[in-house]
């Protein structure tokens, strides 16, 4: 029986080079629509014979945006498109390969557990109907997809305004899983920590900043080929309407804390990067960052502050990044939160690696950390 490999669905990305030999199924990752970036893949295989072994080969892996990051990486697979697990993978300096023993006639493979647009729509509905959020404003992507800005809280004067945005980089699907964890906790009876947080702060949540890129199976850019996390100095309604919209909203409501949720291809840990290279970086911001990191480390083993990006030298920050731009403009706690495409090596889970579920748990725990320091945020 011949194999049928497809990716013509939400966040699908693969090119079939030659699927005639089950022991060497030659595939390639497709670049973003208007950009050379690529690394995200997500495809379905039909026609598998249960019990038979298959060998998949992504032949252009070395040329991916973070080609070195394939070392130590294991692909994710699913037999029902719902629950995902890691499959042992190897990178030979050119191709990423993985072997799979079929248990069903079909299987899906991806770079990370995908977050679908359908699930996003359900998440917005749950936020509005069960989590007490309001749809504060709706922006639109280049291709016209809604970008929801949710608010939990009444906007009363004196409330801290905590902004959490996700998936500027569309292939970093862990970011919307992270927001789902936040919204899930808001649907539960507020425990003491949540009561403390919500008494003093409103949450401004953007579950997906880049719906076009996510839908098209992009790694890094929007439908115009723009990296949204390099657009915060010159966003505009034509090329980067996603950032332009959120910046307008931030100006309207103000910002007292900012977290930008991302995924990192290479570093096998959860970590944060901050705005220490900003010209206006202050000791107060440094203290808030340290307090957030130590507080979150005390809450979960799925966070650490030893591994991460090199710190920017004073005055050398790239101000086009969201974290740096918002930190400078609002003189507040401003962080990029990175979750791994691999695993969090301080607390590894060989079966799933880092996953949607662990991203959700981290979202819940970030609310707990913010609750412990909410009075200090302004
Ligand atoms: C990163 S943020 C880069 C931050 N770099 C340092 N050294 N602080 C990006 O946009 O490249 C976020 C990401 O893509 O995950
Ligand atoms: Zn990113």
For residues 204 and 347, state if they share a domain.
yes
| Nearest ligand to residue 275 Cα | 1
**Probe target for ligand 1 pocket from 321, 334, 340, with the most ligand atoms within 8 Å of CB:** 321
Gap from CA of 104 to ligand 2 centroid (Å): 34
Q: What is the mean pLDDT of the chain?
A: 98
Whole-angstrom distance, CA of residue 246 vs CA of residue 225: 19
Mean pLDDT calculated for residue range 243-268: 99
Mean pLDDT calculated for residue range 93-113: 98
For residues 124 and 101, state if they share a domain.
no
For residues 150 and 24, state if they share a domain.
no
> Quick one: what percent of the chain has pLDDT higher than 90?
99
Q: Which residues pair with 259 in a beta bridge?
A: 164, 335
- Whether pLDDT at 294 is above 70: yes
Range of the domain at 283: 117-377
Query: 142-164, pLDDT tens digit by residue?
Result: 999 999 999 999 999 999 999 99
Active site residue 328: no
For residues 100 and 171, state if they share a domain.
no
280 phi/psi in degrees, rounded to 5:
-100, 20
For residues 238 and 135, state if they share a domain.
yes
Gap from CA of 260 to ligand 2 centroid (Å): 9
Gap from CA of 329 to ligand 2 centroid (Å): 21
Number of domains in the chain: 2
Whole-angstrom distance, CA of residue 51 vs CA of residue 34: 40
Q: Which of 180, 184, 242, 338 is catalytic?
A: 338
> Is residue 183 lining ligand 1, measured as CB closer than 6 Å?
no
Alpha helices, DSSP H only, in 130-235?
174-186, 192-200, 211-215
Predicted pLDDT at 1? 67
Tell whether the torsion through CA atoms of 5, 341, 58 and 208 is positive or negative. Answer: positive
Query: 191-207, pLDDT tens digit by residue?
Result: 999 999 999 999 999 99
Q: Which residue carries 């809280």 as its tokens?
A: 153
Predicted pLDDT at 147? 98
251 phi/psi in degrees, rounded to 5:
-65, -35
Sheet hosting strand 25-28, strand order edge to edge: 15-18, 25-28, 53-58, 96-101, 89-91
User: Of 110, 145, 167, which closes a domain?
Assistant: 110
- What CATH number is associated with residue 339? 3.40.630.10
For residues 130 and 221, state if they share a domain.
yes
For residues 125 and 45, state if they share a domain.
no
């Amino acid at each position: 029986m011949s194999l049928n490999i497809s990716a013509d669905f939400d966040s699908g990305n693969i090119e079939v080079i030659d699927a005639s030999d089950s022991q060497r199924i030659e595939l390639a990752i497709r670049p973003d629509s208007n950009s050379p970036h690529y690394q995200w893949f997500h495809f379905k295989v039909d026609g598998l014979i249960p019990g038979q072994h298959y060998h998949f080969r992504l032949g252009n892996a070395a040329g991916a945006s973070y080609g070195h990051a394939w070392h130590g990486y294991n692909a994710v697979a699913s037999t029902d498109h719902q629950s995902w697990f890691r499959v042992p993978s190897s990178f030979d300096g050119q191709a990423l390969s993985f072997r799979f023993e079929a248990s069903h006639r079909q299987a899906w493979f991806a770079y990370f557990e995908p977050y679908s647009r359908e699930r996003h729509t359900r998440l917005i509905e749950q936020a509005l109907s069960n989590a007490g959020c309001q749809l504060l404003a709706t922006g639109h992507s280049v291709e016209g997809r809604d970008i929801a800005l949710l608010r939990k809280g009444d906007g009363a004067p004196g409330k801290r305004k905590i902004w959490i945005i996700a998936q500027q980089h569309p292939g970093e699907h862990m970011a919307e899983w992270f927001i789902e964890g936040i919204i899930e906790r808001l649907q539960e009876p507020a425990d003491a920590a949540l009561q403390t947080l919500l008494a003093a702060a409103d949450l401004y949540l953007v579950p997906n900043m880049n719906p076009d890129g996510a839908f098209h199976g992009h790694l890094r850019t929007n439908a115009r080929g723009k990296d949204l996390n390099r657009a915060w100095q010159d966003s505009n309604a034509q090329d980067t309407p996603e950032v332009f919209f959120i910046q307008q909203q931030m100006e309207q409501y103000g910002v007292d804390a900012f977290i930008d949720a991302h995924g990192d291809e290479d570093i096998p840990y959860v970590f944060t990067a901050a705005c220490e290279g900003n010209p206006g970086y202050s000791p107060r911001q440094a203290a808030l960052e340290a307090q957030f990191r130590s507080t979150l480390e005390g809450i979960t083993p799925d966070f650490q502050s030893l591994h991460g990006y090199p710190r920017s030298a004073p005055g050398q920050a790239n101000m086009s990044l969201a974290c740096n731009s918002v930190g400078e403009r609002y003189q507040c706690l401003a962080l990029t939160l990175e979750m791994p495409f691999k695993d969090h090596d301080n607390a590894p889970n060989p079966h799933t690696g880092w996953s949607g579920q662990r991203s959700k748990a981290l979202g819940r725990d970030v609310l707990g950390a913010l609750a412990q320091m909410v009075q200090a945020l302004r």
